[in-house]
């Protein structure tokens, strides 16, 4: 049977318990958010002993469902003060599932400043003092641990930024090749893990637990059909990765440029998916790369430097835009170098891209200064200077300290790489998401829904439907690139029916998503974060994108009331 594994860092004890019946059809974000509401005081200090870090594979992770290897990491966020789930690929979710772990809960706080390693395998779990790992970057750390424990392990770790408990700190997960290049970046989950004294978790992939669908033949048939459809319909993502969005979003005028002061970038071709694919091919890298076994979309990549040596992998659109055009930096080599620094030191590329954009507007650096930006990333993770500590608090605090009014953030979290004046549905998601301005909560990309991108009408309902369907994907552990669309929800209902042996219709599946959002709204309400915070920054309502009349003009009352009908 599956189990909940608890690691109490105050007592340095590990225990396990059976899964309560009410958690039977919860996984991923659905489980992390529900457990946080059940067990954590929403008013607690995010970096204090009463917060918890909860890691949960998706409900269908560990099965033959394609693209289902996602891991949710949840806690009260030190960046927003709200509930948070950060979602990551890599090998960890499947490894945890093979050990029968439905949720890993890390709670309490150690009595000393020691760093600990948590080892999980078929024999059980062990906490090991690991002072020798302190201050290690994720790359050296992964190499060290895989050499010691074997390449068939998955590593979950934090870099120096997490040890410094900076709200911009990410959690790294190794990919198939053992590189710590997949990150749960948003919301400071690395800081919360660092507050618990956990530097790394080593998870053996040799577990023998298997999820058994009740109607296994029907389950396999639906999964195979789903996979074939994804292979046929997601070729652009396979060939170019998420960087295929660079030209698309630039063309609709929503590509953040020079701290969200413009929506198009003159150097856009130097950052495009086509350019990325060409560089990968020329230098011996790769596109069409899977971040975990069973991924059929394969939107990841392996990026080499000009000498043909590995530099980074999983170079995503959001990183390219926020550390490229948003900083006035034209060139994938410069952005890839910044991505490598962030992955190694454990920094969220999106929050740092937003914070650096604010800092550039505040005169700390000039737009286009790639070398200066790289220097500030290192300075941030080290946490030894005042400026580094300020940037490490994220874009909102950076704006306050530098007296910059154009700060692209909601509920304390920097926006990802879609300007809400041009993509208003995504702007609604930014404004209303329970987790701050998070595009993964419901991204209204061009073509999703029958709503005009640039008009306010219908955007709230579009965002709400996307937030519900994205929540379903997060619960099941399915990558959102399968599409938070009605066709996918039909497949999810068929999969759950065959998996459980019970009847699931589309409406029952969507109810999972709605209930998750209600759970998160309740947590935030108890934390003092209510619907009055559901809005974009004031400058986006007043300052039109250059060359257009586009401002964010969705009615505030609609934003405040978006979740009332759940």
Per-residue CA distances from 100 to 212, 463, 474 (Å): 12, 35, 19
Cα(307)–Cα(323) distance, integer angstroms: 22
- In this prediction, residues 153-164 reach a mean pLDDT of 98
HSE of 463, CA atoms in CB hemisphere, 13 A: 31
Domain boundaries, given as residue ranges, for the chain: 3-204
What is the tens place of the pLDDT at every residue in 323-332? 999 999 999 9
In this structure, of 178-182, 277-281, 298-302, 451-455, the range with the lowest mean pLDDT score is 451-455
* Cβ–Cβ under 8 Å, residues 431 and 537: no
pTM of model > 0.95:
yes
Beta bridge partners of 74: 54, 85
Cα(171)–Cα(249) distance, integer angstroms: 28
Cα(522)–Cα(124) distance, integer angstroms: 35
Is the pLDDT assigned to residue 114 strictly greater than 90? no
Beta bridge partners of 268: none
Of 111 and 80, which is predicted with more confidence? 80
The reported pLDDT for the residue numbered 21 is 95
* Cβ–Cβ under 8 Å, residues 366 and 360: yes
Burial of 403 (0-12, 13-18, 19+ CB in 10 A): exposed
Task: Mark residue 173 as left, alpha or beta (left: phi above 0; alpha: psi -120 to 50; beta: remaining).
Answer: beta
Number of H helices, E strands in the chain: 21, 17
Confidence band of 98 (pLDDT split at 50, 70, 90)? very high
Pick the CATH number of 3-204 from 2.30.30.60, 3.40.50.720, 3.60.9.10, 3.40.50.300: 3.60.9.10
Is the pLDDT assigned to residue 454 strictly greater than 90? no
Ordered DSSP codes for 108-138: S--SSS--EEEEEETTEEEEEE-GGGTT--H
C-alpha 243: how far from its chain's center?
17
What is the tens place of the pLDDT at every residue in 356-410? 999 999 999 999 999 999 999 999 999 999 999 999 999 999 999 999 999 999 9
**Residue (of 349, 350, 332, 330) closest to 341 by Cα position:** 349
Is the pLDDT assigned to residue 477 strictly greater than 90? yes
**Residue (of 260, 401, 348) closest to 79 by Cα position:** 348
**Residue (of 92, 99, 100, 104) closest to 14 by Cα position:** 104
Beta bridge partners of 75: 84
* Average pLDDT of the chain, as a whole number: 97
Cα(334)–Cα(518) distance, integer angstroms: 42
Cα(221)–Cα(211) distance, integer angstroms: 16
* Cβ–Cβ under 8 Å, residues 31 and 60: no
**Residue (of 191, 221, 222, 205) closest to 122 by Cα position:** 205
Count CB neighbours of 429 within 10 A.
Answer: 31
Q: Using the Cα atoms of residue 461, residue 462, residue 463 and residue 468 in order, give the sign of their dihedral.
A: positive
Count CB neighbours of 417 within 10 A.
Answer: 28
Calculate what percentage of the chain has a pLDDT beyond 90: 96
The reported pLDDT for the residue numbered 90 is 96
Cα(47)–Cα(165) distance, integer angstroms: 8
Is the pLDDT assigned to residue 449 strictly greater than 90? no
Cα(155)–Cα(204) distance, integer angstroms: 9
Cα(88)–Cα(77) distance, integer angstroms: 16
């Amino acid at each position: 049977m599956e189990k909940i594994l608890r690691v109490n860092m105050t007592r340095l004890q590990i225990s396990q318990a059976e899964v309560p019946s009410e958690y039977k059809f919860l996984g991923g974000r659905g489980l992390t958010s529900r457990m946080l509401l059940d067990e954590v005081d929403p008013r607690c200090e995010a970096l204090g002993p009463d917060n918890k870090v909860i890691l949960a594979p998706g409900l269908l992770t560990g099965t033959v469902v394609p693209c289902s290897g996602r891991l949710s990491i949840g806690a009260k966020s030190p960046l927003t003060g709200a509930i948070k789930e950060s979602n990551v690929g890599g090998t960890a979710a499947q490894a945890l599932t093979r050990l029968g772990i439905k949720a890993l809960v890390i709670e309490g706080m150690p009595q000393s400043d020691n760093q600990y390693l948590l080892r999980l395998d078929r024999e059980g779990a062990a906490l090991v003092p690991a002072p020798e790992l302190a201050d290690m970057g994720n790359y050296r750390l992964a190499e060290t641990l895989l050499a010691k424990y074997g390449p068939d392990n998955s590593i979950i770790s934090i870099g120096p930024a997490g040890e410094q408990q900076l709200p911009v700190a990410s959690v790294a997960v190794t990919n198939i090749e053992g590189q710590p290049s997949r990150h749960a970046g948003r919301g400071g989950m690395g800081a919360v893990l660092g507050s618990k004294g956990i530097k790394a978790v080593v998870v053996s992939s040799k577990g023998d637990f298997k999820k058994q669908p009740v109607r296994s033949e029907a389950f396999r048939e639906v999964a195979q059909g789903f996979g074939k459809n994804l292979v046929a319909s997601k070729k652009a993502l396979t060939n170019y990765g998420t960087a295929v969005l660079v030209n698309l979003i630039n063309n609709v005028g929503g590509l953040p440029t020079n701290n969200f002061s413009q929506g198009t970038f003159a150097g856009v071709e130097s950052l495009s998916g086509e350019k990325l694919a060409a560089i990968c091919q020329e230098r011996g890298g790769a596109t069409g790369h899977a971040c975990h076994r069973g991924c059929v979309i394969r939107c990841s990549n392996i990026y080499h430097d000009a000498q043909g040596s590995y530099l980074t992998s999983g170079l995503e659109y959001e990183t390219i835009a926020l550390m490229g055009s948003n900083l006035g930096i034209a060139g994938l080599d410069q952005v890839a170098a910044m991505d490598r620094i962030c992955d190694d030191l454990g920094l969220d590329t999106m929050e740092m891209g937003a914070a650096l954009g604010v800092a550039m507007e505040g005169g700390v650096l000039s737009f286009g200064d790639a070398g200066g930006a790289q220097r500030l990333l290192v300075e941030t993770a080290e946490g030894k200077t005042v400026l580094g500590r300020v940037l490490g608090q994220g874009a909102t605090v950076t704006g306050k300290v530098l007296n910059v009014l154009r700060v692209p953030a909601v509920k304390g979290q920097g926006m990802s790489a879609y300007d809400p004046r041009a993509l208003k549905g995504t702007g609604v998601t930014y404004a209303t998401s329970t987790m701050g301005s998070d595009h993964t909560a419901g991204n209204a990309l061009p073509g999703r829904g029958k709503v005009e991108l640039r008009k306010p009408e219908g955007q709230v309902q579009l965002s709400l439907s996307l937030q519900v369907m994205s929540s379903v994907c997060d619960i099941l552990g399915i990558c959102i690139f399968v599409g938070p669309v009605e066709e996918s929800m039909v497949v999810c209902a068929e999969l759950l029916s065959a998996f459980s042996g019970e009847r699931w219709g589309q409406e029952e599946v969507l109810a999972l998503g709605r209930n998750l959002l209600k759970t998160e709204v309740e947590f935030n309400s108890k934390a003092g974060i209510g619907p009055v915070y559901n809005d974009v920054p004031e400058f986006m309502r007043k300052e039109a994108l250059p060359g257009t009349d586009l401002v964010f003009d969705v009615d505030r009352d609609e934003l405040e009331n978006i979740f009332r009908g759940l």
